[in-house]
Amino acid sequence: MTLSISDTKNGKGKMFKTALVFLAVSLFCVIFSFIYARYSHGVHSDYMTYMFAYPLIGGTIVYLLIGLLSKARIPGRFVINVYNSGIATLTMGSLLRGILDIAGTSSRYQSVFMIVGALMVFVGAACYFAAQFKTS
């Protein structure tokens, strides 16, 4: 497992494409939340309403910044996979929590999504920053 990073121009384009994908996921989350709220008999959950924030802030904005910063190098595949999986886990955890809140129930496993997702995002970000400042 390598924590390599690339500084190719082609990699910057991949960062913009990834940001665009996360923007589409955020839009899907907004539409899904709206439709789900429409048929939830007036009950709503902030977790469901704001689940779009994870892919928007953690995905779109982060990848746009990496793509726009001229000195930033492109993260390796391991870092991208761990980080993206963390964002997906946080988003799905928020969705699950929202569904259970609307249903009026809870589960002790809800916090597992948030803890594991946050840990994966942290590991991905830490590996990226460690590789950024690693002397070649």
Instruction: Count how many domains the chain has.
Output: 1
The verdict on residue 48 lying in a domain is: yes
Type of residue numbered 53: A
Does any domain span residue 2? no
- Other CB atoms within 10 A of residue 33 CB: 21
Distance CA 96, CA 18 (A): 24
At residue 69, the pLDDT reads 84
pLDDT at residue 10, as a whole number: 66
Report residue 28's pLDDT band, with 50, 70 and 90 as the boundaries: very high
State the DSSP code for 56. I
Angle between helices 110-133 and 77-103 (to 10 degrees): 160
Instruction: Let me know if residue 40 belongs to a domain.
Output: yes
Q: Which of 1-10, 38-47, 67-76, 108-117 has the highest mean pLDDT?
A: 108-117
- Greater confidence (67 vs 123) lies with 123
Q: What is the pLDDT of residues 46-100, one digit of tens each?
A: 999 999 999 999 999 999 998 888 677 788 899 999 999 999 999 999 999 999 9
Give the number of other Cβ atoms within 10 Å of residue 47's Cβ.
20
The answer to the question of residue 90 being in a domain is yes
Instruction: Name the pLDDT band for 104 (thresholds 50, 70, 90).
Output: confident
Residue 104 within a domain: yes
Query: Does residue 3 lie in a domain region?
Result: no
Q: Does residue 118 surpass a pLDDT of 70?
A: yes
Q: In angstroms, how far apart are the furthest CA atoms of the chain?
A: 59
Find the domain containing 96 and state its range: 9-133
Answer for the pair 54, 84: CB distance below 8 angstroms, yes or no: no
CB count in 10 Å sphere of residue 72? 17
- Please indicate, yes or no, if residue 4 is contained in any of the structural domains: no
Q: Would 96 be classed as within a structural domain? A: yes
